[in-house]
Amino acid sequence: MANILAIETSSDACSLSLSFNGDDFHFHEILPKQHTERLLIEIKALLKKANAQLQDLNAIAVGCGPGSFTGIRLSCSIAQGLAFSNDLKTIQVSSLEVLARNINAQLGAERIVSIVDARMQQLYVGEFLYSKEVLVTSNTFVVPVEKFKLSAYEENTFFAGDGCNPIENQLKEISKNIFLNLPLATDLLSIAKDKYINKELLEPAELLPIYLFGEDQWKKTK
């Protein structure tokens, strides 16, 4: 079984999970504007709790956004440095998929739309279709709040993420399944374990933030 550290800081939450020798360890705290000061401290604390060393790991997984530019740049750069210095692989995961995995795992939902507030009256959107627990298709884009189209979704669609806030009243017109959750490293770790098995691994230098811009998307994905 792979030993993996998962880092998710694309929101105000500083969220970490570690799978080591078959056991999982977690840290999750809302730390607005404190990621820079706390992230390395909490990584070291989690490793100590598991009685693990960085060189004992197989890979470091990161929720690479989209989300807070500062948060995702920080987590990517720290993961790159730790992975490079300890000869580890990295795993890139969309934070929108992390949101969707939580709803799929907890509620068995199959049609999930993850929405993250992109500021400046825009939304990061990820559309995910699952067959039971297996992700079948996904699509990500950014859209102005006023152009978000409810008509594109069926009534059994689940909506997740803090980006639901600006359009919550609209969403309630078609769905009762609205969850204002944040991306969690526990769900990131679950995805990372699958990617490790499927050998979807990157060298540290290949690990990059996922940004979405207007009608054009730029993202580095495996």
pLDDT in tens, 116-169: 999 889 999 999 999 999 999 999 999 999 999 999 999 899 999 999 999 999
Report the 10 Å Cβ neighbour count for 143. Answer: 17
Query: Are 207 and 76 a contacting pair, CB within 8 Å?
Result: yes
Q: Kindly report the average pLDDT of the chain as a whole number.
A: 94
Q: What is the DSSP letter of 85?
A: H
Query: Are 124 and 142 a contacting pair, CB within 8 Å?
Result: yes
Taken in order of first residue, the domains within the chain and their CATH numbers are: 4-94+183-218 (3.30.420.40), 96-179 (3.30.420.40)
Relative orientation angle of helices 95-107 and 185-197, to the nearest 10 degrees: 100
**The pair of three-digit structure tokens given for residue 163, joined into one six-digit string:** 């980006």
Query: Are 138 and 119 a contacting pair, CB within 8 Å?
Result: no
144 alpha-carbon distance from chain centroid: 22
Bridge-based pairing of strands 216-218 and 211-213 is: antiparallel
Closest Cα to residue 124, out of 64, 73, 174, 35? 64
Rounded Cα distance, 133 and 41, in Å: 34
Q: Is this prediction's pTM over 0.85?
A: yes
Per-residue pLDDT of 47-83, as tens digits, reads: 999 999 999 999 999 999 999 999 999 999 999 999 9
Query: Are 100 and 10 a contacting pair, CB within 8 Å?
Result: no
Could you give the percent of the chain with pLDDT greater than 70? 95
**pLDDT (0 to 100) of residue 214:** 58
Residue 189's φ and ψ, nearest 5 degrees, are -60, -40
Kindly indicate the confidence band of residue 1, based on its pLDDT and cuts at 50, 70 and 90: confident
Query: Are 212 and 23 a contacting pair, CB within 8 Å?
Result: no
Closest Cα to residue 212, out of 164, 143, 154, 163? 143
Rounded Cα distance, 136 and 81, in Å: 33
